[in-house]
Amino acid sequence: MRVRQRDIAQAAGVSQASVSLVVSGRASEGGISPSTQDRIRTAMEELGYRPDPVARSLRGGRSGLVGVFTYEPVFPARPDEYFHEFLVGIEMAAADRGQDLVLFSSTQQADGRRSIYAGGSSRLQHADGSVILGMHRDDDELARLAKDEYPFVSVGRYDPVPEAAWVEVDYDGAVRAIIEDFHRAGHRAIAYVAGDNARLPSLARRHAFAASTRGDTTQILTETEFDENTLGTWRDSGITAVIAENPDIAEKVERAAARAGLRVPDDFSAACLDTPLRSGRSASWSHLLIPKREVGIRSVNLLAAILDGKLPRGHHDSVQCASHHLGTIAAERV
């Protein structure tokens, strides 16, 4: 049996409106005498009144629920480090703001893929707005979401939908900084090993690399193109430094180098564009520190600002990216 404001109004011999004022803490402001307030509070206590958040949402238009939409399960079989840190930030920010998180597991279809509009009505409506996470996006769906004027923020740059708001990592600046380190150390012939997927985050980093190495000798290849012969090719082309786009690639390069009897940084300098695996052989590579937690926090905050009308729907935010030097960028012997 739910206790409503009406019940305690009756018990305290006041109107429901007065109860509402007390509940929302605006009693004095609304001009309720201290004695009446006391009576109301006592009645609330005795009857065990708890405001109904759903009714509040209906009335106020906000549920305080922040959606988290991912095209993959949030809790994968193998804890995916990549997602995790974003989610830490998202949960922290939500907690700070007094908001709850909704994970849209219902959007998962039989084949394991998730779709916003598959179930007919968008379940995202349950949340005031959503944070969109993950690589494998459906541009059409998200475009539609934007057209429906549903407030959402993409974690990571998201060009395909012009109206989308996002929080991006400043890969440009970060990659540029790493290249400058290479330059300072005398390297002018640099290889870049990219991931196989041609998704935005990957492309962004490749472009940043290309832009920062104008005038240098460069070689860009993808993960699958990297094989046993690659190291030889590099040596022949005079390549003295390597950038691996992600930790897996760094591992791959390290293993190939080890087999070829080459050492980092004695034989070539190296850096990785994300934090390497803790226990891997490339753990000591110089690398970028992607501020995932910060990005998560800012995404939630940006969403809140958009909901409050303080920032426009398509606002973008960018987070600086630090780098962590572990001595795998050595001076080039000229």
Binding site for a second copy (CB under 8 A): 1, 23, 48, 50-58, 63-65, 73-77, 79, 81, 84, 87-88, 90-92, 94-95, 97-106, 108, 117, 119-123, 125-126, 148-149, 279
Q: Which does 103 bind (CB under 5 to 8 A by kind): a second copy, DNA, none?
A: a second copy
Q: Would you give the end-to-end CA distance of the chain in angstroms? A: 83
Task: Give dist(CA 311, CA 305) in Å, integer.
Answer: 6
Among 10, 47, 56, 108, the residue binding DNA under the rule CB under 7 A is 56
Q: Which does 21 bind (CB under 5 to 8 A by kind): a second copy, DNA, none?
A: DNA
Output b/e per residue, 268-282; b: 16+ Cβ within 10 A: bbbbbbbbbeeebbb
**Residue 16 makes contact with DNA by CB under 7 A:** yes
**Nearest to residue 281, comparing CAs of 306, 239, 244?**
244
Q: Which does 104 bind (CB under 5 to 8 A by kind): DNA, a second copy, none?
A: a second copy
Residue 16: partners with Cβ closer than 8 Å, 6 or more residues away: 5, 6, 9
Q: Is the separation of the CB atoms in 206 and 220 below 8 Å?
A: yes
Q: Which does 222 bind (CB under 5 to 8 A by kind): a second copy, DNA, none?
A: none
Q: In whole angstroms, how close is the CB of 311 to DNA at the nearest point? A: 22
∠ CA 202-157-104, nearest 5°, is: 100
**Residue 66 makes contact with DNA by CB under 7 A:** no
Binding residues vs DNA (CB under 7 A): 2, 4-6, 13-21, 23-24, 26, 30-33, 35-36, 50-52, 55-56, 58-61
